[in-house]
Amino acid sequence: MRITFAGNYHELSFKYKSVMLSINDLRASIEGKEILKGINLEVKPGEVHAIMGPNGSGKSTLASVLAGREEYEVTGGNVVFDGKDILEMAPEERAAEGIFLAFQYPVEIPGVTTINFLKTAVNEIRKYKGEAPLDAAQFLKMVREKAKLVSMNDSLLKRALNEGFSGGEKKRNEVFQMAVLEPKLAILDETDSGLDIDALRIVAEGVNSLRSPERSTIVVTHYQRLLDYIVPDYVHVLYKGRIVKSGPKELALELEEKGYDWIKAEVEAVG
């Protein structure tokens, strides 16, 4: 049985404050190769965590494993989200529970319009929660408001999902979908890749407009520049499948300045 707390969310929020996402000694591999070698991370409601690290450190793997990508085999540890172990859940169940992954490479799906895709998604999630589907008028009204919020051009909604979209349009579409689905936890996987500075700013503004005390964000990025716009509460450095350093937002600036080599050296020194 599913219990929903309608109306008294704020009274309960103190409980969520304790922890929203708890990743404990998470290990995952692909094709027999271990990529995540014991990740530990806690995210509380409203927090923004940046995951940084050199290429191949496992950043995108972590994002994928949280969203439920099936190519990865979880070999150890657990992930508790809102009190539930999500590792046994299908990707669609995780989405319905409130986890959203903004893709590094959003997929083009010819023949399915963005609007139809989102309507299906919204109503499938509502079904999961035991809520009645939105009718066409309610849905359209909601979608228009959200499109405005993240500066998404209405005309893109009627086009096939991401088909022929520019890099910036694709990323903006990710943020727009996030606005529509209103997740509790948004994971942005290299959202800055392939964007020029203007597109980056627009996308970041979209993400910022969705920040709230209840919504948490994990920003996966190689570069510091996205963090100029989406300012994190914490920065974690992932290297060789482990979080090797955590710190306040200033850590990102330090990485920008000094690169990753000093971190690598530190890790190797410890052995």
Partner 1 sequence: MSNETIDLKTRLITDFHAREAVMNGEASSEFHQKKRAGLALFEQLGFPSIKHEEWKYSNVRDLISVSYDFNAESSIGLTELEDLKVPEQEANILYFVNGRYNAELSAIISPVGQITISSLADAYKNDPAKVASFFNELTKDANDAFTALNTAFAQDGVFVHIPDNQSVEHPIILRFVSDAREKNVGSQPRNIISVGKNAHVKLAEAFRTLGDQRSFTNAVTEIQVAEEANVQYYKVQNESENAYHIGTTQVRMLDRSHFYAGTVTLNGKFTRNNLNIVLDGEHCDAHMYGLYFPDGSQHVDNHTVADHQKPNSESNELYKGILRDKSKGVFNGKIFVRPDAQKTNAFQSCKNIVLSPDATMNTKPQLEIFADDVKCSHGTTTGQIDEEALFYMRSRGISQPEAMSLLMFAFCADVVSQIKIDSVREYLENVITQKLASK
Q: Which residues bind partner 1 (CB under 8 A)?
A: 67-70, 90-92, 94-96, 100-101, 103, 106-107, 109-112, 116-118, 120-122, 124-125, 128, 160, 177, 181
Residue 95 or residue 203: which is nearer to partner 1 going by CB?
Answer: 95
Residue 47 or residue 189: which is nearer to partner 1 going by CB?
Answer: 189
- The Cα–Cα gap between 30 and 71 comes to 6
CB of 126 to partner 1, least distance (A): 9
- The Cα–Cα gap between 89 and 69 comes to 11
Q: With helix as H, strand as E and coil as C, how does 14-33 read?
A: HHHHHCCEEEEEEEEEECCE
CB-based burial label for 145 (10 Å; 0-12, 13-18, 19+): exposed
Residue 191 or residue 224: which is nearer to partner 1 going by CB?
Answer: 191
CB of 246 to partner 1, least distance (A): 27
CB of 240 to partner 1, least distance (A): 26
Task: Supply the DSSP symbol for 177.
Answer: H
CB of 69 to partner 1, least distance (A): 6
Residue 117 or residue 223: which is nearer to partner 1 going by CB?
Answer: 117
- The Cα–Cα gap between 92 and 78 comes to 18
Residue 119 or residue 245: which is nearer to partner 1 going by CB?
Answer: 119
CB of 128 to partner 1, least distance (A): 7
- The Cα–Cα gap between 172 and 133 comes to 26
- The Cα–Cα gap between 70 and 88 comes to 11
Do 41 and 236 touch, CB atoms closer than 8 A? yes
CB of 91 to partner 1, least distance (A): 4
Residue 181 or residue 251: which is nearer to partner 1 going by CB?
Answer: 181
CA angle, corner 88, sides to 129 and 122, nearest 5? Answer: 30
